[in-house]
Structure 1
Amino acid sequence: MRHHTHRKVSASKVTISELMLPSHANFSGKIHGGYILMLMDQIAFASASKYSGSYCVTASVDRVDFLNPIEVGELMTMKASVNYVGNSSMVVGIRVTSENIQTGKVKHCNSSYFTMVAKDNEGKNVTVPPLLLCSLEDVRRFFNTVKRISLKKERDLHEETFDHTTPEALAALKDYRVKYEL
């Protein structure tokens, strides 16, 4: 199935809200980070599949920084949308907030970016529709993703070229809370 018509970012928007239960909590009584990641993966799948009209798989997850813990009894909301498309890949931006339903106070808990790839029934990559940006907010998110992709390419290149076996590299370990016995 080939797509040539551009699709709006709004075609990818998905929101889920869920009440955080004691069964979702970790040993310190906050909502388990792994549970949040699982829900983020689900909403990324939903957003990318909705946008592309194809089955999608998670290719990578850009850093997830847990800014504020989510408490039991809070209403957690995730909003996702496709911010960027490649040929068969889409970058889905996800924003997680939680609301204290008694006070109405809302906190930003984390934001992350999932790279999803569209697949056909045989598991081969399929082309996704090109993106139609309809607001300056869409444009901002698109360019932020372009910037993140180029930074990741630079970082990967540095990791490939960095030689950790040199005397200089080993000497630099003294700057960290580590020692080596080789």
Structure 2
Amino acid sequence: MHDTYAEILLPFASSPELFERYTNAWGGLRTGMLMEHLDSLAGSISYKHMLGPDVETLGHINERGFYIVTASVDRLDVLAPLSPVRDIRLSGIVIYTGTSSMEVAVKMEALGASGVEDTLLLGRFSMVCRDARTHKARPVNPLILDSREETALFSIGENAKKRRQSLALRSLSRVPPSSTEAEELHSVYLQYGQDNGLSDYEREWMGETHLEKTMLMFPQERNVHQKVFGGYLMRLAYELGFANASLFTRSHVTFMSLDSISFAKPVPIGSILRLTSQVLHTTPPGELPAAVHVGVQANVVEVQTGREQTTNDFRFTWYPDDDASVRQVVPKTYQEAMLWLEGKRALKMGDQIRGERQKKPSA
């Protein structure tokens, strides 16, 4: 396991030029760019696991006989403010292997003169290996565990995979909501879903929170498979979601978590990509910290027919900086109601995970 470790150092404290490249309009860091690096790092770690720690270049995919893609991002949770005045280290390691899949744990740390000062972010990427010729699943190298700590990390990765499978079986696209969820949804309908004199400052219909961006995919953003780099898509989705959360709350927002990403299909070079964002859930009035859960869907548009295919589905959570209650986003249709409940589930899980990690940080 330890042979798969890799890291990237971003010396913000000592390099004004680097800081200038990553700074945002509020003097902080462009989180979407850091996500782009984390996706690239997870891919590099996965290839390192397959090729061995001494191999320095990937070469041609067809010669290697396999390729690796990001299947999903389990979570990325912020545990401390992302400050640009300190050097930051991004690191990761393969913690679990299945038949053709790998779980890569990633970490973002702030460094000081005496070493690590804060763990800023923790998360996991799920990577899969494919045969370069048939594009079918290809077995990955098993992990050799050399210590009690590595065995514990392997167990974390194994449990994460099982939890992801369990959540997929409980998805609202497969099974109906629980009785408790149905009651909560009905309560929101009674309070906010009827014409009872509520103002736009108290609620907003989910269908009216749409924000979208359409753009061409250029070869400068390609990966080794000659498709659009997944990390670049993560950055685009993050920035659109941030804009939507800011407009909805009418304030600057702070990123708290990437709750999930699914990669359904690759995005071809030269295609037209439509990113559509929507506010899916907000915390109840008076509940602090207030949170806004946003979904971003990426679709490739076929020019000749106008037909669209979904390639990626992103879910993010932000907190408004003024720590005030936010308007309630209210679903109108059954489909929107299911998205609203999925957002509620995501917020609940995020609170649980951040609480557990802050009590006892893990790798």
TM-score by length of 2: 0.39
- Decide whether the 8 Å contact of 1:15 with 1:80 is kept in 2: yes
Corresponding position of 1:131: 329
Match of 2:320 among 118, 121, 135: 118
Residue of structure 1 aligned with 2:295, choices 93, 98, 122: 93
Deviations 1:126-150 (A, max 9, x none): 3211223222222111112223344
TM-score by length of 1: 0.73
- 4+ residue segments displaced more than 4 Å: 102-105, 150-162
**Aligned counterpart in structure 2 of residue 74 of structure 1, from 267, 271, 288:** 271
Q: How far off its partner does 1:116 sit?
A: 1.2
Aligned residues: 157
* 2:308 is equivalent to residue 106 of structure 1: yes
The higher-RCO structure (CA 8 Å, 6+ apart) is: 1
Equivalent residues of 1:41, 1:58 under 8 A apart: no
Match status 1:47 vs 2:244: yes
Show the counterpart of 1:174: none
Give the distance between the partners of 1:149 and 1:85, measured in 2 at CA: 9
Return the letter of the residue paired with 1:69.
Answer: P
Q: Deviations over 1:90-111 (max 9, x none)?
A: 1001111112335655321111
What displacement does 1:32 show?
0.8
Query: 1:171 aligns to what?
Result: none
Structure 2 gap ranges (5+): 1-199
Q: Of residues 5, 8, 12 in structure 1, which corresponds to 2:209?
A: 12
Cα–Cα, structure 1 residues 161 and 41, in superposed 2: closer, same or farther, change >3 Å?
closer
1:27-46 map, 5 Å:
27-46=224-243
Q: CA RMSD in A?
A: 2.7
Unaligned runs of 5+ in 1: 165-182
1:142 aligned partner: 340
Amino acid at match of 1:64: I
Note if contact 1:97-1:106 (Cα within 8 Å) is conserved in structure 2: yes
Helix, strand or coil: the match of 2:263?
A: coil
Within 2, Cα distance between the matches of 1:58 and 1:157?
16
How far the C-alpha of 1:80 sits from its partner, in A, is 0.9
The answer as to whether partners of 1:11 and 1:50 remain within 8 angstroms in 2 is no
Contact 1:76 1:99 in 2 (8 A): yes
Q: Distance in 1 between matches of 2:302 and 2:270?
A: 7
Q: 2:256 corresponds to which letter in structure 1?
A: A
Conserved 8 A contact 2:293-2:347? no
Larger of the two Rg values belongs to structure: 2
